[in-house]
Amino acid sequence: MAGDFERGNAEAVESLLRSSAATVQRNLMTIPRLADGSPRYARGWHMVGWSDEFAVGKAAARDYFGQRLVIYRGEDGRVRCMDAFCPHLGADLSAGTVKGNLLQCAFHNWTYDGSGQCVKIPYFDKIPPRAKTRAYPVKEINETVLIWHDHEGGEPEYDIPALQEFHPKTDPDSAGWTKGWHRFKITIKTHPREVIENIVDRGHLLPIHGFDVDHWLPVWNGHLCGELMWGKHTRLAADVQDDKLYVRALSHGPSYQYTWQIQDSAQFDSLILTSWCPVDENTLEYWFGVIVKANDAQFTPDMLEAAAEQYCKASYDAFMEDVYIWERKLYRSEPVLCGGDGPIANLRRWYTQFYTDRAQVNVSRYFNNNEHWTVEELRDRQGVVLAAQATAATALTV
């Protein structure tokens, strides 16, 4: 792995591996918890897989939020998600059979609709009132499947717009973008708070990723958080001398993020999708997808696909530099910060809204006027963007 760390010493690496396990219990002492002491998972939309993982007529088991879920796609093409254990005698519904838009338990053939309600018992006419399992709202965009998780059981309180730039492989025209995602998925031993904090951690960009940032601006807007930045990147914008990279990243809620990137040289535009979902209190799954766009006169479709795949691999290598840190670090509830770190304390306050009962959350506290700037404006209207900061509303007035 690249980076300024010296990790060549096998003995030192082994020591890090051993010490990382020793910090787990200390980290677990500071994660959000419910009144009964069990972990509290973030309220919001969470990705649970790529669309092609859920074929029509098949039930799939997934383990997220410290529990087993069953996800299936009915004959109408819609994806459903429910708690997996049958309220009858606890059989795993993911071992059952999809019947049209219904799911039949393999144990006694009790059958459930997408709302989790039992609608048929083959050997008894009257269905018990409590014959129901929890169902989750499902959203499918950008060839990804998301479910709404809320400890309080409420309906979704925000939406996530689909990407206009993304086109499935079946689309006849993609406006110059590669079709479908070049993608990967990994499992990480950490809490999601480490991933979200990366969004505002300006101080790590140069030593970890080789990104020498000229300007960095935060984005806050209710459930939205993000960053706008530009500068010289020694890897992603290093093919042309003095080329600069411009980045606009928006996280929709606690775990679904879009990142647009362009360069002065206009060699490649890229759009990255990242998402993560907790498996348990110290494990998460992380998805990454990228599409790229370039001048048709300079790149054939095959060349562009190869470039997208290479970009995906380079992004994976860069991301693993973060993972290496996350899996071995101690979470500091009261870190010692300096002015160049980025608004980490503000980010932590913003993030608490997803672990707080709705009635106690005031999203109007989290706002500035930076969400609307496009990545092209960061490159072409820098003076206007920077001048607007002087008159913008103060973010996080808490």
What CATH number does residue 94 fall under? 2.102.10.10
The CA-atom distances, in angstroms, between 100 and each of 34, 59, 76, 135, 257 are: 38, 12, 8, 17, 34
- Give the mean pLDDT of 280-308: 88
Which of 4-8, 228-232, 237-241, 316-320 has the lowest average pLDDT? 4-8
24 found inside a domain: no
138-176 in b/e form (b: 16+ CB < 10 A) is bbebbbbbbbbbbeeeeebeeebeeeebbbeeeeeebee
Which of 147-151, 262-266, 323-327 has the lowest average pLDDT? 262-266
Does residue 392 register a pLDDT over 90?
no
159 found inside a domain: no
Note whether 143 and 193 are same-domain residues. no
Q: What is residue 8's predicted lDDT score, i.e. its pLDDT? A: 46
Query: DSSP code of 227?
Result: E
36 found inside a domain: no
**Residue 252 belongs to what H/E stretch?**
strand 245-252
Does residue 381 register a pLDDT over 70?
yes
Note whether 145 and 194 are same-domain residues. no
Which of 145-154, 246-255, 307-316 has the lowest average pLDDT? 307-316
Note whether 136 and 235 are same-domain residues. no
Length of the chain in residues, anyone? 398
Note whether 129 and 186 are same-domain residues. no
Note whether 88 and 207 are same-domain residues. no
122 found inside a domain: yes
CA angle 185, 186, 192 (to 5 degrees): 110
> Which of 26, 17, 19 is CA-nearest to residue 331?
26
Does residue 152 register a pLDDT over 90?
yes
- Give the mean pLDDT of 170-175: 90
Q: What is residue 29's predicted lDDT score, i.e. its pLDDT? A: 94
125 found inside a domain: yes
Domain harbouring 285, CATH code: 3.90.380.10
382 found inside a domain: yes
- Domains held by the chain: number: 2
- Give the mean pLDDT of 279-294: 95
22 found inside a domain: no
- Give the mean pLDDT of 289-317: 85
Task: Give the tens place of pLDDT for each residue, 326-375.
Answer: 999 999 999 999 988 999 999 999 999 999 999 999 988 889 989 999 99
Note whether 264 and 366 are same-domain residues. yes
- pTM metric for this prediction: 0.91
**Residue 195 belongs to what H/E stretch?**
helix 192-197
In which domain, by residue range, is 188 found? 182-389
- Of the pLDDT bands very low, low, confident and very high (cuts 50, 70, 90), residue 302 is confident
Q: What is residue 303's predicted lDDT score, i.e. its pLDDT? A: 86
Does residue 395 register a pLDDT over 50?
no
Q: Tell me whether residue 122 is exposed, middle or buried, using C-beta atoms within 10 angstroms of its C-beta: 0 to 12, 13 to 18, 19 or more.
A: exposed
Percent of the chain exceeding pLDDT 70 equals: 91
Which of 92-101, 174-183, 236-245 has the lowest average pLDDT? 236-245
- Residue 223's SS3 state is coil
Task: Give the tens place of pLDDT for each residue, 202-232.
Answer: 999 999 988 999 999 999 999 999 999 999 9
Note whether 139 and 244 are same-domain residues. no
- Of the pLDDT bands very low, low, confident and very high (cuts 50, 70, 90), residue 121 is very high
- Of the pLDDT bands very low, low, confident and very high (cuts 50, 70, 90), residue 7 is very low
